[in-house]
Structure 1
Amino acid sequence: MGNGKMDKRERHEPCAEGAFSDIASPIVDEAIEQAKGIATAPSAEGLHQLRITMRRLRSLWWSYRPLLDVGENTRQRELFRSLADSAGKARDYDILIALLKLQQKGGDALPPEITDARQAALEAGSEVFSNPEMKTLLLEALSQASGALVARENRHPLQVFSEGRVAASEKQLRKRARRAAKAKRSDVSAFHDVRKAGKKARYLLELFGPVLSAGHRKTLKRLKKIQKRFGALNDVVASEKLLRDNAPLLAALGEPERTLKWFKTERERHLRAAAALLRKDWK
């Protein structure tokens, strides 16, 4: 049995279960406000920011997975993933348009089919987030997870818990980075897995930053390199897939084979750059 001073310190030490609501509530509130803004004035940038917010929520829920019901936690993270996907489609078209302009080197204007598809994606995203049900779903997810954590009998010190979950995300990132470094250059999915793991680790470093030790700063520095180089690769890969999945859009460009050849060349160039980064920094 500890002395009175120790007991008092333990009682006042922040616990992971109690801190969850303090961390999650402002992010949920931010998502709700962003959705209101999109309903009022739809924009691809607004939807992109909301997609980032949904990814932060998904990462936070992942970090608390060991303390929550697995099935419910998975369902809620899937909700955040689905909303993030809905928010990102207009932004994906903006990236595609930018790459097509780069390919054409300031040549002919893009066909209206491209800009029409972008507008349709913007309107679809706006419709999803204009629905009052989205606010209800987010608040229910927050309430359910917060209630389940508060009801737990065992308590975990926030710093110990945070260090452990951030370390787990960093371990996952290193594992995927080493796998991608050994993968064939054509294995785009292996590089995409690195990017996703990097995003998760970065979000957790930001969310738990105030209670983490200084040792994680090195990882954050390396993550910035991944974000830049792997983000450029993902832009090319996602845009190429967007064209291949929409044959009418590809045909509207006039020279589909030439366009796809350009994307293939860019994809291979960015894959080489990503692989070089992994060999250098993630051995």
Structure 2
Amino acid sequence: MKRDSGKMDKQSATGDRPANPAGTAPSAQAAFTSYAAPLVGHAVEFASAVRVDASPEALHKLRVSLRRLRSLWWAFAPLLEKDESIRQRALFKYLATAAGKTRDWDILIELLSQEDSGAHDITPKLQEARGSALAVSRETLSNADVKHLLREALAGASKELNTAHERMPLRKFAARRVDAAKRSLKKRMKRANRARRSDYTAFHDVRKAGKKLRYLLDFFEPVLKGSCKSTARRVKRIQKRFGALNDVVASEGLLREHAASLAGSGDAGVTLDWLGKERKRRMRTAAALLRKR
């Protein structure tokens, strides 16, 4: 199952970095636009594509782009006006959630395509619900005017940073923000390791912290001293296991939420039992990774 792994296509991987990281050391303030502009361009492109492309891939790319933007604004938050930075990150989250409403149905449908899920009779109803969610996602994104909102956010942040009196070397700034993301992940892993296995919130926090660190490594690895390969591999494992757990938890919640509208289209109880067993199995797998930290 393809989920929000933070993996970039070739264009994104080469376009979201300062133009000359190996030359004269840029400041963090000057480098911001080199990171942000390609991301905004991708998000605008994918938002436009969703209007005509109903595929899971189109929605997935849009949501990932918006989440990467949110992480980039978090990374540069110490250099930006606090309230405006918080507002922009909330905007990116709102737009990603709009795309995610349909993406959640895609994940549920893919999960239940497994032979032992007992969900064969319910699939047509799930596809119908997915179609309704897609219509809402499209309307929300269209009404929000994604292109205008994102370009306005980019222009505002770029102007603020370019007119700032102080300058911080990009390498120093990047190292500080990556270290902050590492500490956040470590703290949440310790908390999840002590939590009850029924406390999914603690596990979910690990997933979010791991995703943030992965994005920051994608942004800043070329300008950091030393290799980040071991950290990147570890974060990928966290994303894979905790992402797989989140897929089941979110799908189980979605099915319960819409149980009434799906009544009569198959044995939802059997499907929920299967999802419950799968959730426990994936919870154990994720917990095992915590013990290896």
Is the pair's TM-score, using the shorter chain for normalization, greater than 0.5?
yes
Q: Does 1:175 align with 2:187?
A: yes
Which of the residues 109, 129, 136 maps onto 2:148? Answer: 136
Alignment of 1:121-200 (within 5 A): 121-131=133-143, 133-200=145-212
Partner of 1:75: 87
AA in 1 matched with 2:27 = C
Alignment of 1:61-72 (within 5 A): 61-72=73-84
Q: Deviations over 1:197-251 (max 9, x none)?
A: 1110000100112101234222101011111111110110000010122132453
Q: Deviations over 1:2-41 (max 9, x none)?
A: xxxxxxxxxx530000100111001101111112222233
TM-score in terms of structure 1 length: 0.90
| Percent of residue pairs identical | 51
Alpha-carbon distance in 2 for matches of 1:57, 1:107? 36
Residue 131 of structure 1: how far off its partner (Å):
4.4
Contact 2:248 2:279 in 1 (8 A): yes
Cα distance change on mapping 1:70 and 1:252 into 2, 3 Å: farther
Range with bigger deviation, 127-136 or 214-223: 127-136
Partner of 1:221: 233
AA in 1 matched with 2:171 = Q
Partner of 1:114: 126
Alpha-carbon distance in 1 for matches of 2:93, 2:131? 22
RMSD, aligned α-carbons = 1.9
Residue 273 of structure 1: how far off its partner (Å):
0.5
Range with bigger deviation, 241-250 or 252-261: 252-261
Which of the residues 259, 269, 276 maps onto 2:281? Answer: 269
Alpha-carbon distance in 1 for matches of 2:35, 2:68? 11
Unaligned runs of 5+ in 1: 1-11
Aligned residues: 271
Residue 152 of structure 1: how far off its partner (Å):
1.2
Q: Does 1:18 align with 2:43?
A: no
AA in 1 matched with 2:64 = I
Name the structure where helix makes up a greater proportion of residues.
1
AA in 2 matched with 1:61 = W
Range with bigger deviation, 260-269 or 109-118: 109-118
Q: Deviations over 1:54-107 (max 9, x none)?
A: 000000000011111111100000000111111122221121112223264577
Alpha-carbon distance in 1 for matches of 2:213, 2:177? 9
Residue 259 of structure 1: how far off its partner (Å):
2.4
Alpha-carbon distance in 2 for matches of 1:70, 1:25? 21
Which of the residues 262, 266, 270 maps onto 1:254? Answer: 266
Cα distance change on mapping 1:80 and 1:252 into 2, 3 Å: farther
Alpha-carbon distance in 2 for matches of 1:132, 1:90? 17
Partner of 1:35: 47
**Which protein has the larger Cα radius of gyration, Structure 1 or Structure 2?**
1
Contact 1:24 1:60 in 2 (8 A): yes
TM-score in terms of structure 2 length: 0.87
Range with bigger deviation, 41-50 or 164-173: 41-50
Cα distance change on mapping 1:105 and 1:274 into 2, 3 Å: closer
